[in-house]
Chain A
Amino acid sequence: MPNAEHHPRVGLFVTCLADMFRPSVAFATVRLLEQAGCIVEVPEAQTCCGQPAYNSGDKKTTQEIARQTIAAFEGFDYVVGPSGSCIGMLHYYVDLFEAGDSWKQRAEDLKARAFEITSFLIDVVGFDKISASFEGSVTYHDSCSGLRQLGVKQQPRTLLGKVENLELKEMEEAETCCGFGGTFCVKYPDISNRMVSNKTEYISNSGARTLVGGDLGCLLNMAGKLKREGKEVEARHVVEILAGMCDEPAIGEADYDLAKQL
């Protein structure tokens, strides 16, 4: 990457769920990127990656959103986001345009620059100087797109290994889908429920106190199920732990300071 060696300019792909449900995930991503020596900007023109349209078969809408996203992130050395699923969607843009269409080349160019945060830190900038501490045991869920599309497996574990006092307890079937699947969980709620119930059983069997993952969709699903079942496991996005930003209650926990936030 040109001029990217010392202080790469990174466009943050916020992701809808981090924006709406858990801003701390986006803030933690910014902090990690800055610790790794990047200059971070948040392009205003970004919205959603387009996955809901893509997976519903609405190719035209997906193309329109893709063009908007491609344009919003042109000029950055890298595009980084706290989600394997959304970044994976950015990689799919190349399949949306025919050969010869100039957008295809621009999509290829975006794909080459777009990374999931833990993969970016390890695979691109080789950063693992994590200065965070976390009391307790965690178990890591491998979200599907990150794992199978982007090859995110060891990177978050390597980084978690640098966190002081943290103990990683692997669960059984860490690579099995949690049943979220975007609109799948509301279109096929019974099946989704079975899948997430299997998952929460593996999670609690691991003995870990905290569930950690790299995708908020999956985490909201599993955290919601853990809460409903009354299981004493909390859920956090991996970047919160890596950036040492765990002051905020875990996902779906009670004591948000509502008065301050409303």
Chain B
Amino acid sequence: MQIKSPDFKKNARIALQDVGLQKALGNLKAGFPVKRSIAVDRMPEFEDLRDEARDLKNHILGNLDIYLEQFESKVIENGGHVHWCRTAEDAQKKILEICQEVDAKTVTKGKSMVSEEINLNEYLEANGVQPIETDLGEYILQLREDHPSHIIAPAIHLNLEDVSEAFHKHHKRPKSDDPAVLMQEAREMLRKKFVAADVGITGANFCVAETGSTIIVTNEGNGDLTQTLPKTHIVVTSIEKVVPTLEDMTLFLRLLARSATGQEFTVYNTLSTGPRREGDQDGPENFHVVLVDNGRSEMVGTEFQDMLRCIRCSACMNHCPVYGSVGGHAYGWVYPGPMGSVLTPQMIGIEKGGNLPNASTFCGKCESVCPVRIPLPKLMRHWRENEFEKHLTPSAARYGLAGWAFFAKRPTMYRMLSKTSNWFLRTMAGKKGKISKLPLAGGWTDFRDMPAPSGKTFMQQWKEGQR
């Protein structure tokens, strides 16, 4: 996927004028946050579970090597394989290699953001293996040659008309705008693909160390068909998804569904524990887990470690007023919203991803809904510090800040500056009480008036003895 994060401002401007997108974003706002709120209100212990989940994740991250190795040995014991991939390229190559071993022509895929992160579809296609997305949202996007704009509702930026149009064009059926008809159509199309696929690729929401199991949660059941029908099942996931026990997994499942969609439990919770055993009625003959690092281990032990607690629920973006204004594509890479603003600079570099952690008012709504209490604004601020230290902050902002700081560190001179600015603004406003156009402040006055100071500065008046 092409990186467009450096163009965030331009992307955002376009997104704000996109009528269809704005309509779709309106639906998002009225959906997930409301449902989450209802689900949370119905669970008195929710806040305690968040603490528990945060603490457990911190424990896991402090012992990541131990749990990953335990997970690996259990997978092997169950007859599966684990592949450690440091980079996205390593993971691409390994997955292609497994596909080629079984001479795969087509591959069905369950929804996986890690596969987006490693740009898997493009790579497989370029190497003669046809990937087929089976999650309805992802399937629609694949038909439209589009990318996810949200981590759990990938086609949230589209409206019914867009889907109807895409299906009509690709399925060669009469056009319909009935969601039930469209869904049935997708089912029929996908059914054949499920049966024909040589390999099934899924992600994993969690990897369980004590049993060597991986789990996916879906609301469509497509994941089950993806992973049980083909001869080979590849799980592509990342190292921070490991949890010690099944019991621990259930803690996260309770938080995940409620935080994400407001469900008490996701409809399908499917565990995979090794390949088909003797006497099993179904299941793959080969079971592979591709464990992707891609910069994550570098975050352990740093100020960004807290980000590795993320369970990909999407609550942060669902509640974010910036995401709600511009949608996911504006962020220009795989992970949007607050979690993406922290993760993306780690993966594509702060030089390219620097806009994202800056595009936040630090309103704190994301942190207030995060099920594992990731201090997202604080982590975005760490990126700004990182940028500042590397002299990547735009020079106008840098000089402006330095000029201001000179005064802010000298109270007497700061008073003079306030006094002068106060006088200047009042003069500009004249008798109107507001300023409609102010040089160098177009960012403000293009869209709103600047209320004028209502009198001399407080410090002046206080000194003059006014009360």
Q: When chains A and B are docked, how far (Å) is the Cα of A182 from the Cα of B443?
A: 12
Is the Cβ of B458 less than 8 Å from the Cβ of A188?
Answer: no
Is the Cβ of B393 less than 8 Å from the Cβ of A56?
Answer: yes
Is the Cβ of B447 less than 8 Å from the Cβ of A21?
Answer: no
Is the Cβ of B408 less than 8 Å from the Cβ of A191?
Answer: no
Please report the total number of B residues contacting A with Cβ < 8 Å: 72
Given the known inter-chain contacts A191-B322, A252-B449, A258-B431, please indicate yes or no for A44 contacting B401, CB distance below 8 A. no
Most chain A CB within 10 A, of B9, B386, B387, is at B9
Is the Cβ of A262 less than 8 Å from the Cβ of B411?
Answer: no
Give residues of chain A (200-239) contacting chain B, Cβ–Cβ below 8 Å: 220-221, 223-225, 227-228
CB distance from A163 to the nearest CB of B (A): 21
User: Which residues of chain B come closer than 8 Å to A45, judged between CB atoms?
Assistant: 411
From A104-112, A125-133, A153-161, A172-180, the one touching the partner chain is A172-180
User: Which residues of chain A come closer than 8 Å to B458, judged between CB atoms?
Assistant: 14, 18-19, 23, 26-27
A1 within 8 A of B: no
Is the Cβ of B362 less than 8 Å from the Cβ of A53?
Answer: no
Closest to A64 in B: B409
CB distance from B47 to the nearest CB of A (A): 14
Q: A16-B418, A144-B364, A227-B449 are in contact. List 13 more A-B contacts (CB 8 A).
A: A55-B362, A56-B393, A57-B381, A145-B364, A148-B368, A176-B321, A181-B361, A184-B361, A186-B444, A189-B446, A224-B434, A224-B450, A262-B426
A192 within 8 A of B: yes
Is the Cβ of A256 less than 8 Å from the Cβ of B405?
Answer: no
Pick from A21, A177, A188: contact of B12, CB below 8 A: A188
Given the known inter-chain contacts A30-B467, A192-B447, A223-B451, please indicate yes or no for A186 contacting B441, CB distance below 8 A. yes
Most chain B CB within 10 A, of A148, A192, A252, is at A252
Is the Cβ of A194 less than 8 Å from the Cβ of B404?
Answer: no
A selection of 18 A-B contacts at a CB cut-off of 8 Å is A16-B418, A19-B458, A23-B461, A47-B414, A48-B408, A53-B404, A57-B383, A59-B385, A144-B362, A144-B365, A182-B361, A188-B358, A190-B9, A220-B451, A225-B449, A248-B454, A258-B426, A261-B455
Q: When chains A and B are docked, how far (Å) is the Cα of A262 from the Cα of B452?
A: 13
Q: When chains A and B are docked, how far (Å) is the Cα of A54 from the Cα of B410?
A: 17
Pick from B404, B431, B453: contact of A21, CB below 8 A: B453
Q: When chains A and B are docked, how far (Å) is the Cα of A12 from the Cα of B457?
A: 15
B422 within 8 A of A: yes
Contact with A along B66-86 (1 / 0, CB 8 A): 000000000000000000000
B174 within 8 A of A: no
A20 within 8 A of B: yes
A255 within 8 A of B: yes
Is the Cβ of A196 less than 8 Å from the Cβ of B430?
Answer: no
Is the Cβ of A14 less than 8 Å from the Cβ of B408?
Answer: no
Is the Cβ of A179 less than 8 Å from the Cβ of B321?
Answer: yes
CB distance from A218 to the nearest CB of B (A): 10
Please report the total number of A residues contacting B with Cβ < 8 Å: 76
Given the known inter-chain contacts A227-B448, A256-B433, A261-B456, please indicate yes or no for A68 contacting B409, CB distance below 8 A. yes
B16 within 8 A of A: yes
B191 within 8 A of A: no
* Nearest 7 Cβ contacts at the A-B interface: A181-B361, A252-B451, A57-B384, A186-B443, A57-B388, A224-B448, A177-B363
Q: When chains A and B are docked, how far (Å) is the Cα of A184 from the Cα of B384?
A: 13
Is the Cβ of B443 less than 8 Å from the Cβ of A189?
Answer: yes
Closest to B459 in A: A19
B407 within 8 A of A: yes
Determine chain B's interface SS by DSSP, over half rule: helix
Is the Cβ of B431 less than 8 Å from the Cβ of A256?
Answer: yes
Q: Report B's interface with A, CB cutoff 8 A.
A: 9, 12-13, 16, 321-322, 325-326, 358-365, 367-368, 381, 383-389, 393, 397, 401, 404-405, 407-411, 414, 418, 421-423, 425-427, 430-434, 436, 441-444, 446-459, 461-462, 466-467
A246 within 8 A of B: no
Q: When chains A and B are docked, how far (Å) is the Cα of A174 from the Cα of B150?
A: 26
CB distance from B450 to the nearest CB of A (A): 6
CB distance from B443 to the nearest CB of A (A): 3
Q: When chains A and B are docked, how far (Å) is the Cα of A192 from the Cα of B441?
A: 14
Given the known inter-chain contacts A65-B408, A181-B361, please indicate yes or no for A191 contacting B325, CB distance below 8 A. yes
Is the Cβ of B388 less than 8 Å from the Cβ of A251?
Answer: no
Q: When chains A and B are docked, how far (Å) is the Cα of A130 from the Cα of B321?
A: 35
Q: When chains A and B are docked, how far (Å) is the Cα of A19 from the Cα of B421?
A: 11
User: Which residues of chain A come closer than 8 Å to B448, judged between CB atoms?
Assistant: 193, 196, 221, 224-225, 227-228
A249 within 8 A of B: yes
User: Which residues of chain A come closer than 8 Å to B422, judged between CB atoms?
Assistant: 20-21
Given the known inter-chain contacts A48-B408, A187-B358, please indicate yes or no for A177 contacting B397, CB distance below 8 A. no
Pick from B16, B388, B427, B431: contact of A56, CB below 8 A: B388
A75 within 8 A of B: no
Pick from B363, B365, B433: contact of A252, CB below 8 A: B433
CB distance from A172 to the nearest CB of B (A): 11
Is the Cβ of B449 less than 8 Å from the Cβ of A20?
Answer: no
Q: When chains A and B are docked, how far (Å) is the Cα of A119 from the Cα of B359?
A: 30
Closest to B17 in A: A190
Is the Cβ of A52 less than 8 Å from the Cβ of B450?
Answer: no
Give residues of chain A (17-60) contacting chain B, Cβ–Cβ below 8 Å: 18-24, 26-27, 30, 42, 44-48, 50, 52-59
Pick from B364, B456, B461: contact of A148, CB below 8 A: B364
Is the Cβ of B454 less than 8 Å from the Cβ of A23?
Answer: yes
Q: When chains A and B are docked, how far (Å) is the Cα of A183 from the Cα of B398?
A: 12
Q: When chains A and B are docked, how far (Å) is the Cα of A179 from the Cα of B448?
A: 12
Closest to B385 in A: A57
Is the Cβ of A249 less than 8 Å from the Cβ of B454?
Answer: yes
Is the Cβ of A42 less than 8 Å from the Cβ of B434?
Answer: no
A165 within 8 A of B: no
A254 within 8 A of B: yes
Q: When chains A and B are docked, how far (Å) is the Cα of A51 from the Cα of B232?
A: 55
A168 within 8 A of B: no
User: Which residues of chain B come closer than 8 Å to A262, judged between CB atoms?
Assistant: 423, 426-427
